[in-house]
Chain A
Amino acid sequence: MNLHGVRAIYRFEMARMWRTLMQSVASPVISTSLYFVVFGSAIGSRMGDIDGISYGAFIIPGLVMLSLLMQSISNASFGIYMPKFSGTIYEVLSAPVSYVEVVLGYVGAAATKSVILGAIILLTARLFVDYHVLHPVWMVAFLVLTSITFSLFGFIIGIWADGFEKLQIVPLMIVTPLVFLGGTFYSIDMLPEIWQTVTLFNPVVYLISGFRWAFYGVSDIHVGISVGMTLVFMMACLTAIWWIFKTGYRLRT
């Protein structure tokens, strides 16, 4: 195991985060704060409780998930796309690192950033809404698991993308709708029956539901299924990455 290599990639990526602190941390915090102000405080005060939770508190897990998914994907995809774009990827390809080590370095750094960001957003939310966490260990577990899974997904996008537009397209066109329709702002029970079924095909539903359960002990879907689905998605990403390195897809000709 080339631990020096993993550490080099990890530190390189983390240094990028500190350099771009404004984009990495400030912008998601600001946009999430706006959601809290608008939906939590302004509109939320006029909404009834959902499952016995005030609306402001109800949307917190979903909003944290939104930032977590977006940031995991954008961090990890950018991290591997940039060397491809600038050509410095030659060095990683010619280095004595296995693909497991490359993934550990890039995805590890991206997931770390997401976890830090998730924590910052939770602290920020505290300024607007009073909430409690019923199962803190599970909450952290979901945070970490989701960060890793979607950083893996972002890594795949970064390798697949051959232009900056493609980097943006997946988070904007796919992830944002999935999060908004995944029960961030409502409970699935509130939907007509047919849409409840359709919603079950949205993987983000399982993440948000599980995460909300960790906070308040209520969920649309059993927490075991949430964990299971997250792991399934993680396995799918790992399989795709394994295939990418095995075939050299868009990395080695």
Chain B
Amino acid sequence: MQPDISVKNLNKVYAGGFQALKNVNLDIERGEIFALLGPNGAGKTTLISIICGIVNLSSGTVEAAGHDIVRDYRAARSSIGLVPQELNTDAFETVWDAVSFSRGLFGKAPNPAHIEKVLKDLSLWDKRDNRIMALSGGMKRRVMIAKALSHEPRILFLDEPTAGVDVELRRDMWEMVRGLRNNGVTIILTTHYIEEAEEMADRIGVIRQGEIILVEDKDQLMAKLGKKELRLLLQQPLESLPGELALEPLALSEDGYELIYTFDAQQEQAGVARLLRQLGDLGIEYRDLQTRESSLEDIFVGLVHE
């Protein structure tokens, strides 16, 4: 199947000479939730802005919904809804007017029933006649999402949608994103909250200094790069690791009370059994043990600091 977004050899050099994107290649499949992760200034917003038509590309090609974003910009842009990172809203317009404006701007005939549905889904219906300036930050964020959904896009970009948003709205948003995906909408989100990507995404891309350094199915990524950790709390502190254990991927805490054993999440558990047997043979007693699986956050931090 043709990807919904296809980025080929994309470069962006800003007027000052700063190269924000370096030969980016990326395909995003129809109907998936794709999370783009990366530290501040890595190029996430530049990439999104180019795809949406806000920033000009320097070289390369981008297709959205099968249309070249430069040559066939009308068709490409019509298929895209964008919720930008900054909370940029009108001030004096009512919620209803602002959302209806967006629909018209994207070339769609008025459809009050659709606008009503979007506003209701985002719990904005009661606020429809309020001026946007009178709304709270969270409500303004909802308005921006409503604007992006007003023209029924098949691709939705959410640039840091949950930055500075309370728990309730975040949960609502996740719910909404899942609902959209179930209706076949392709969703690309950038986020700093890695648990968000972990919870929502089908695939994850990591961008660092303008380069895509990894694109991977989330579960595979977790399995491949995820580490497991076993911590043993000892009855008596050890001064050093006994020689028999030195070969294992073992570490001893400073106070000598904890043994930390790290292993691949995919690897068979035989290593753990062997370790415990060895400890028994050596007469090292422990009073508790914990295992922990590394989160996407650990993986991410590991990747961007490589």
Contact = CB atoms under 8 A, between A and B. Distances in A.
Interface of A: 2, 4-5, 7-9, 11-12, 15-16, 19, 86-88, 90-98, 248, 252-253
A95 B106 contact: yes
Given A2-B74, A8-B105, A94-B52, 17 more contacts: A4-B106, A4-B109, A4-B110, A5-B106, A7-B104, A8-B100, A11-B101, A12-B93, A16-B92, A87-B86, A91-B147, A96-B76, A96-B78, A98-B74, A252-B54, A253-B15, A253-B55
A172 to B, nearest CB: 25
Given A5-B106, A8-B105, A95-B105, A90 B88 contact: yes
Contact of A248 (B56, B82, B107): B56
Nearest to A252: B56
Contact of A9 (B76, B80, B92, B105): B105
B75 A96 contact: yes
A91 B55 contact: no
B88 A87 contact: yes
B217 interface: no
B81 to A, nearest CB: 9
A96 B73 contact: yes
Interface of A is mostly: helix
B91 interface: yes
B88 A88 contact: yes
Contact of B108 (A4, A9, A90, A93): A4
Contact of B105 (A15, A16, A91): A91
Interface in B13-55: 14-15, 52-55
B97 interface: yes
B102 interface: yes
Interface of B: 14-15, 52-56, 73-78, 80, 82, 84, 86, 88-93, 97, 100-110, 147
A86 B88 contact: yes
A95 B102 CA distance: 9
A119 B47 CA distance: 49
A60 to B, nearest CB: 35
B53 A86 contact: no
Nearest to B81: A94
Given A15-B97, A96-B78, A253-B14, A5 B105 contact: yes
Contacts of A12: 93, 97, 101
A95 B79 CA distance: 10
B147 to A, nearest CB: 7
Contacts of B100: 8
A93 B53 contact: yes
Contacts, number: 81
B68 to A, nearest CB: 13
Nearest to B46: A253
A221 to B, nearest CB: 43
Name which of B52, B55, B101, B104 has the most chain A CB atoms within 10 A of its CB: B104
A209 to B, nearest CB: 40
Contacts of A95: 77, 105-107
Nearest to A8: B104
B164 to A, nearest CB: 16
Contacts of B91: 86
Contact of B90 (A7, A86, A248, A253): A86
Nearest to B73: A96
Contacts of B56: 248, 252-253
Nearest to A20: B92
A98 B72 CA distance: 11
Contacts of A87: 84, 86, 88
A7 B55 CA distance: 25
A252 B46 CA distance: 12
A251 B132 CA distance: 24
Nearest to A253: B55
A119 B88 CA distance: 36
Nearest to B107: A2
A93 B88 CA distance: 14
Contact of B54 (A7, A11, A93): A93
Contacts of B14: 253
A96 B77 contact: yes
A248 B55 CA distance: 9
11 contacts: A2-B74, A4-B108, A8-B100, A8-B104, A16-B92, A87-B86, A88-B90, A90-B82, A91-B105, A96-B75, A253-B15
B82 A96 contact: no
Contacts of A11: 101, 104
Contact of B89 (A2, A16, A88, A94): A88
A91 B54 CA distance: 9
Nearest to A85: B88
B106 to A, nearest CB: 5
A87 B84 CA distance: 10
B105 A92 contact: yes
A98 B77 CA distance: 11
B90 A96 contact: no
